[in-house]
Structure 1
Amino acid sequence: MRAAVLVGPGECAVAEVPVPVAGPGEVVVDVERVGVCGTDVEFFTGEMAYLHQGHAHFPMRLGHEWAGTVSAVGAGVDAGWVGRRVTGDTMLGDGTCRRCRRGHQHVCGQRQEVGIRGGRDGALAERLAVPATSLHALPDSVDAVLGALVEPGGNALRAARAAEARPGGRVLVLGPGTIGLLTAMFVRAAGAEVHVLGLALDVVRGLGFANAWTADTLPDVPFDAVVDASNAATLPARALDLVEPSGRVVYIGLAGSPSTIDTRILALKDVTAVGILSASPGLAATIRAYAAGDVDPRPLVAATVGLDQVGAVLAGERPADAGPGPKVHVDPRL
């Protein structure tokens, strides 16, 4: 089958690779749609920390935001999965450690991450093998586009919940990338007043968010929660400055260099700070939200390309017919 293989920093090629076989407890999925993520770009540039920590090695196959149809099952897997439309959890714990036993497999110290960590091949290929336990079935109302947006949506939903977004509250989201915009959508769906700070404000306003600001135009109003969904090393501290006393700051963005906050401010303002790593605990609820129409992230997808264009997208090239959204999808069948 065809797959996009990241050979080394800046080197991505489409290659013929063996078709995956479903091992015990696994399924094979015919991939229909894959999202290209900022994490994938960090692998392409060679900056991703896992490369330097020994958790990932070249060559590797990326792709952890995906949707498809189960085409085969391995030993011990219910044959009823065949033909079902699915997405899957990126985080695959060992299933035996203390964290896994407590339901926190997404922070298992020995975890694999699909297309990211531990040699587990990703979905930028015609087919993908994953554990059946990682699967989430997709209802008919959640198509492949939405299915490939479940993983980033699960992260964003967790951020919105950590911000305790609700009617009468006011939440500021820093960074209008895919995660930031999805977080803003979930905050809006929860009934809170949403503000977004960033640079690509035409996209923000086009999604119906009137309260879109730059650093120079941000109004002096109280924010009950601030979500940092940016990659700027200075914004975690700025989030703490902007949040109301007894408010909440949520850190879901990752900077390329260390960022610092003044814990004296954290304590003296009696602020609750929450870090979000993974979509895992939010996947099922995200599928329900998409199915119900509470959140519609389709406008975030700017273009859909084939495997042959993956290298160019990772290098930062926008497809010629791309719309304004921040996300590029890949259809391996093209």
Structure 2
Amino acid sequence: MRAFVLTGPGTYEVQDVPEPVAAPGEVVVDVERVGVCGTDMEFYTGHMAYLHQGHSSYPMRLGHEWAGRVAAVGEGVDAGWIGRRVMGDTMLGCGSCRRCLRDRQHVCEKRQEVGIRGGRAGALAERLAVPAASLHALPDSVDAALGALVEPGGNALRAARAAAPRAGDRVLVLGPGTIGLLVAIFLRAAGAEVHLLDRPGSSPAFAHTLGFEHVWDEQTLPELPFDAVVDASNAAHLPPRALELVEPAGRLVYIGLAAEPGAIDTRRLVLKDITAVGVLSASPGLDATISAYASGTVDPRPLVAATVSLDEVGPVLAGGRPKGAGPGPKIHVDPRPATA
């Protein structure tokens, strides 16, 4: 089968590799759609922390936001999975440690992460092998594009819930990329008044098309009380800025990761009586995200700007935009062979 292989920082090949075989407890999935993520771009540049911590190494197969159809099952797996449309959890815990036994496999110290950590091959290929226990079935109303948006959506849903908005609360989201916009969409569905903070000079036009009226930059942000602030940016100066902006007794949610650490004054955190939450993984939010997509409560499909082939992944990882791409921040990949 064909697979996109990252061979080093800035270097890649689309290779013919052996097809995966379903080991005991695993399934093989025919991949239909894969999302390109900021984490994938960090691996492309060589800046991803896991590379320097020994959790990941080249060559590697990326792709952790995916949807497809089960083609084969291994020993011990219910054959009823065959033919079902699914997506899968990225975080694969060891299953036996204290954290896994408490349903916190997404922070298992020995975890693998599909397409990211521990040598577990990702979905930028025609087929993918994953544990059956990581699968989440997709209803007919959740198509391939939506299925590949469940993983980022699960992260965003958890961040929106951590902000704990009550109807009418005003929430500020820093960084309207894919995750930031998904957070904003979930917050709006919960009844919050949502404001977005973008980089200076960025156009608010796309956010406006999604129905968000309050889009600012750091020069135009009005002095308003924000009951919660969600930092979905990659800017090191914004975590402490979020603490400045949130109302006393409010909530801070950190889901973005900067290349450099940001300094937070814990004295201010205490004196403002702030609740601060970090969100790492979509795992606890996957089922609820699928339900929200299936019911139409949330529709993130406008975020997808283009769908490309495996041969077009490299330029996307380098920051390029496919020809004819729409205004959304997310690029999808269809790894299936082109039909005549």
Q: TM-score range by the shorter chain?
A: over 0.9
The answer to whether the 8 A contact 1:33-1:148 is kept is: yes
**Quick check: 1:191 aligned with 2:201?**
no
Q: For residues 195-247 of structure 1, what are the alpha-carbon distances to aligned partners after superposition, in whole Å with 9 as ceiling and x for unaligned?
A: 00103421111111001111111111100000000000000000000000000
Secondary structure of the residue aligned to 1:23 is: coil
Q: Could you tell me which amino acid in structure 1 is paired with residue 246 of structure 2?
A: V
Q: CA deviation at 1:166?
A: 2.6
- Structure 1 residue aligned with 2:123: 123
Q: 1:246 aligns with which of 210, 230, 249?
A: 249
The answer to whether the 8 A contact 1:166-1:187 is kept is: no
**Quick check: 1:169 aligned with 2:166?**
no
Give the TM-score normalised by the residue count of structure 1. 0.99
Larger displacement relative to structure 2 (202-211 or 324-333): 202-211
Q: Could you tell me which amino acid in structure 2 is paired with residue 58 of structure 1?
A: Y
Q: CA deviation at 1:12?
A: 1.4
- Structure 1 residue aligned with 2:154: 154
Q: For residues 107-132 of structure 1, what are the alpha-carbon distances to aligned partners after superposition, in whole Å with 9 as ceiling and x for unaligned?
A: 00000000000000000000000000
How far apart, in 2, do the equivalents of 1:299 and 1:196 lie? 17
Q: Could you tell me which amino acid in structure 1 is paired with residue 42 of structure 2?
A: E
Larger displacement relative to structure 2 (211-220 or 25-34): 211-220
**Quick check: 1:265 aligned with 2:268?**
yes
**Quick check: 1:303 aligned with 2:300?**
no
Q: Could you tell me which amino acid in structure 2 is paired with residue 208 of structure 1?
A: G
- Structure 2 residue aligned with 1:109: 109
Give the TM-score normalised by the residue count of structure 2. 0.98
Secondary structure of the residue aligned to 2:42 is: helix
- Structure 2 residue aligned with 1:57: 57
Alignment RMSD: 0.6
Query: How many correspondences in the alignment?
Result: 334
Larger displacement relative to structure 2 (117-126 or 191-200): 191-200
Q: What is the 5 A alignment of 1:95-106? A: 95-106=95-106
Alpha carbons of structure 1 residues 200 and 28: separation in structure 2 relative to 1, 3 Å: farther
Q: Could you tell me which amino acid in structure 2 is paired with residue 150 of structure 1?
A: V
Q: For residues 24-63 of structure 1, what are the alpha-carbon distances to aligned partners after superposition, in whole Å with 9 as ceiling and x for unaligned?
A: 0000000000000000000000000000000001000000
- Structure 1 residue aligned with 2:234: 231
How far apart, in 2, do the equivalents of 1:292 and 1:261 lie? 39
Q: Could you tell me which amino acid in structure 1 is paired with residue 191 of structure 2?
A: G
Q: For residues 290-309 of structure 1, what are the alpha-carbon distances to aligned partners after superposition, in whole Å with 9 as ceiling and x for unaligned?
A: 00101100000000000000
- Structure 2 residue aligned with 1:26: 26
How far apart, in 1, do the equivalents of 2:166 and 2:72 lie? 43
How far apart, in 2, do the equivalents of 1:137 and 1:234 lie? 40
The answer to whether the 8 A contact 1:12-1:310 is kept is: no
Once the two structures are aligned, what percentage of the paired residues are identical?
Answer: 76
User: Gaps (5+ residues) in structure 2?
Assistant: none
Secondary structure of the residue aligned to 1:147 is: helix
- Structure 1 residue aligned with 2:329: 326
How far apart, in 1, do the equivalents of 2:307 and 2:168 lie? 38
Shift >3 Å, 4+ stretches: none
How far apart, in 1, do the equivalents of 2:263 and 2:33 lie? 37
User: Gaps (5+ residues) in structure 1?
Assistant: none
Secondary structure of the residue aligned to 1:70 is: strand
**Quick check: 1:46 aligned with 2:46?**
yes
- Structure 1 residue aligned with 2:280: 277
How far apart, in 2, do the equivalents of 1:72 and 1:152 lie? 26
Secondary structure of the residue aligned to 1:290 is: helix
